[in-house]
Amino acid sequence: MNSEKLSYRLETVTKYIPQDYKLADIGSDHAYLPCYVIQNGIVPWAVAGEVVEGPFQSARRQVEEEGLTDKISVRKGDGLEVIKKGEVDCITIAGMGGALIASILEKGKDKLEHVKRLILQPNISAISIRTWLLENGWGLIGEEIIEEDGKIYEILVAEKGKEKQAYHDDLEKGLLFGPFLLREHNPTFLKKWEGEKINWLTIAEKLEQASNTVENRKKKEELMKKIKMAEEVLEDEKD
């Protein structure tokens, strides 16, 4: 992979970046995504933010090699601390766990005032992001689920306001499965939740054999609730 040929996962993320928006890519590693969107004329200027020295240096090198130092500012720092208020219109955060992405947004809340769009690609626990968005006044405007190299990824796109609108009348299922993905009900979505259901059933069986503590009973109850929801979703016809 390089900035000319992005992974299908990152290319899918870039599809949701509006033309001419200024971008910050947080957790940018090699800065492949910012280089690609500049080279393809999608955005005029971008920040590549990285907290770890090694990936930060890789990002710097990549931007230099591509001759893009005047269009991409590579900055070292934790989450949104690398951007100034009002500096960018759009933020991408990809390839991390959902809880980490939500914590980056929470810590950097004050930087989001003028940001118009968030494009988030969690590797796991998209529910943490959907919950954060809902509680912080960001409405989902789209979602996509894709498979690459045997792994399934969700991409969440949000803008300010109308935070409950996408969920229609089922917030609990929507937060777990994704309101748009739930309605689209495509084969990748079904594959993901069939797999999760099998995982949960295995864990529930192990808990059954574990000691009968209050904590284990509570964990099992929560799992059984999720398994039931997954079964309902998998049986549902496409809307």
| Residues making contact with ligand SAM (CB under 6 A) | 10, 26-29, 49-52, 55, 78-79, 94-96, 100, 104
How far is residue 69's CA from residue 90's CA, in Å, rounded to a whole number? 20
**Quick one: CA dihedral 91, 144, 130, 198, positive or negative?**
negative
Give the dihedral of Cα atoms 184, 188, 105, 25; nearest 10 deg. Answer: -110
CB of 116 to ligand SAM, least distance (A): 20
Contact (CB, 8 A) for 130 and 113: no
To ligand SAM, the closest distance from the beta carbon of 51 in angstroms equals 4
Quick one: 74 or 175, whose CB is closer to ligand SAM? 74
Least spacing, CB of residue 163 vs ligand SAM, in Å: 24
Tokens of 5: 């040929």
**Which of 96/227 has CB closer to ligand SAM?**
96
Q: Which is nearer to ligand SAM, 58 or 233 (CB)?
A: 58
Task: Compare residues 60 and 197 and give the one whose CB is closer to ligand SAM.
Answer: 60
Min dist CB 67 to ligand SAM, Å, is 21
Cβ at position 137, least distance to ligand SAM in Å: 22
Residue 9: both structure tokens together: 């996962």
Buried b (16+ CB within 10 A) or exposed e, 90-115: bbbbbbbebbbbbebbeebeebbeeb
Give me the phi and psi of 224, to 5 degrees please.
Answer: -65, -35
- Separation between Cα atoms, residue 154 and residue 237, nearest integer Å: 21
Given a contact cutoff of 8 angstroms between Cβ atoms, the answer to whether 157 and 141 are in contact is yes
- Minimum separation from the CB atom of position 192 to ligand SAM (A): 18
Of the pair 29, 163, the CB lying nearest ligand SAM is at 29
Alpha helices in the chain (DSSP H): 8-14, 32-39, 53-65, 98-107, 126-135, 171-177, 179-184, 187-209, 214-235
- Indicate the residue among 55 and 142 with the shorter CB distance to ligand SAM: 55
